[in-house]
Amino acid sequence: MSGEKLVGIVLVSHSAEVAAAVAALAKGLAGGAASVRVAPAGGTEGGGLGTSAGLISAAAASVDRGAGVAVLTDLGSAVLTVKALLAEGDELPKDTRLVDAPFLEGAVAAVVTAAAGGDLAAVEAAAAEAYSYRKV
């Protein structure tokens, strides 16, 4: 699978710890998903709470294999930061998509689908479908 182009996934949180933990959990629940590149982009460059355009751009570049990049976010300003980067046009890899999905459940669904070889549309659909997961 090493030569296969797989969708990359970026998890943007206001907390570096939360982004890293969700990335680890999603990969772990997907059986390790060693072939899928998942990058956390949490907090600010100084380690505080917030979002960083630079960290998001770097994370997206690190997971890009030419099959697209799915970006999942936790809260409002993370969404706004990703939208601003997309509007710039040259800050994120080609075929980067902001995915409207719940952060944790969507991340798991995205990683599982990417690991199975799903394209960007399939990864986005699987993550978005996580909104319908019921717990009761």
Q: Is 14 a catalytic residue?
A: yes
Report the chain's terminal Cα–Cα distance, integer Å: 38
State the Cα–Cα distance between residues 106 and 88, nearest whole angstrom.
Answer: 25
Out of 8, 11, 14, 63, the active site residue is 14
DSSP class of 13:
E
Closest CA to 85 of 136, 45, 19, 77: 77
What sections of the chain are H helices per DSSP? 16-29, 53-63, 76-88, 103-115, 120-129
The 8-class DSSP code of residue 34 comes to T
Tell which residue, 15, 23, 40, has the closest CA to residue 111. 23
The set of catalytic residues is 14
